[in-house]
Amino acid sequence: MQLRKNRGISILGVPMDLGADRRGVDMGPSAIRCAGLQQRLEELGYAVRDDGDLIVRRAKGYDSVPESNLKYLYEITRVTGELAEAVAEMDVRENSPLVLGGDHSIAIGTVSGVIRRRSSLGVIWYDAHGDVNTAETSPSGNIHGMALAAILGYGHPHLTNIGGSGPRVRPEHTVIVGARSLDPGEKRFLKEKGIAVYTMHEIDRLGISRVMEQAIERASKGTDGVHLSFDLDGVDPDDAPGVGTPIPAGISLRESLLVAELLAESGVVTSAEFVEVNPALDERNKTARAAVELIAALMGETIL
């Protein structure tokens, strides 16, 4: 990660599961903290500030707007708006943001806050899914499957205008790594917008090292920082069982650690979030512990 040891890290939890189908990811920030996150980062020499958790209200019913199928739209908009403000303030304090989810809809707020102090931002979206649905293409109405589309400027105005108006990132600066479950509308969107997608097919053919070399080059070219949005369902369920939407035949934990190590070596990552840890579905906090291992590697921890 592009961090100096005299630059602090601000941790913020967003215990929200409204963007997902299954309850439980609201406990993700607590599980990751319980797995020893702060101590691990401090052992690496960072000054760590834990800003606690944002407050998320449990909405009654779907809280959706009449003309759409977007579940819990209003509360998600409120929380991600607060998150954008909090992340922007971290940057003012010169603390690098590390956001813990919660479901992946929180990325709309994280990226909206990070971009405030940058002219151009690259995004590496590590995920089994594309998350580029809109209300028109989503089969479920779950906003965690629309987060990347919103960041790119597509979707309901409540989502695309969080923290400002217009796209947060450009398609040519966006890379998806690890995709293996894409809806028909997402496939069309990704092809039309020319977004780089490294599915498991490309990872198997090229190897994760080559994939990440290309991903880093694309996300960092012409940008002044790269945001890593890491969904734990990008990791194979054998290594990370505690996620809401596990998809078999994913990237192993060892390969995922190499991804984090290569990103650390590149020095381009300026902010990150780790999402979709679901302790209710986990095995003895295995997935949260994997998240801590991955964060430590991203922050520069090495084997030797």
- Calculate mean pLDDT across residues 173-179: 98
Place 163 in a pLDDT band, splitting at 50, 70 and 90.
confident
Phi and psi torsions of 225, nearest 5°: 160, 155
Q: Which two tokens stand for residue 137?
A: 């293409």
Helical spans, DSSP H, in the chain: 28-34, 37-43, 73-92, 107-114, 147-151, 157-160, 184-193, 200-206, 208-220, 253-266, 286-298
pLDDT mean across residues, the chain: 94
pLDDT digits (tens, 9 = 90+) for 251-284: 999 999 999 999 999 999 999 999 999 999 999 9
Q: Which two tokens stand for residue 260?
A: 């984090």
**263: three-class secondary structure by DSSP:** helix
pLDDT digits (tens, 9 = 90+) for 12-47: 999 999 999 789 999 999 999 999 999 999 999 999
pLDDT digits (tens, 9 = 90+) for 74-94: 999 999 999 999 999 997 777
Provide the angle, in degrees to the nearest 10, between the axes of the packed helices 253-266 and 286-298.
20
Q: Is the pLDDT of residue 4 over 50?
A: no
Confirm or deny that 127 is annotated as ligand binding.
Answer: yes
Q: Which residue has the higher pLDDT, 187 or 66?
A: 187
- Calculate mean pLDDT across residues 154-174: 94
Q: Is the pLDDT of residue 63 over 70?
A: no
Confirm or deny that 227 is annotated as ligand binding.
Answer: no
Confirm or deny that 131 is annotated as ligand binding.
Answer: yes
pTM (two decimals):
0.96
pLDDT digits (tens, 9 = 90+) for 202-233: 999 999 999 999 999 999 999 999 999 999 99
CATH number, span 8-298: 3.40.800.10
Q: Would you say 157 and 134 are in contact if contact means Cβ atoms under 8 Å apart?
A: no
pLDDT digits (tens, 9 = 90+) for 106-136: 999 999 999 998 999 999 999 999 999 999 9
Confirm or deny that 129 is annotated as ligand binding.
Answer: yes
Q: Which residues does the annotation mark as catalytic?
A: 104, 127, 129, 131, 144, 231, 233, 276
Confirm or deny that 17 is annotated as ligand binding.
Answer: no
Q: What is the largest CA-CA distance in the chain?
A: 57
Give the pLDDT of residue 58: 80
Q: Is the pLDDT of residue 68 over 80?
A: no
Look up residue 125 and give its amino acid: W
Q: Is the pLDDT of residue 240 over 90?
A: yes
Would you list the domain boundaries of the chain? 8-298
CA distances from 124 to 88, 107, 201 (A): 19, 12, 18
| Pairing mode of beta strands 48-53, 269-275 | unpaired
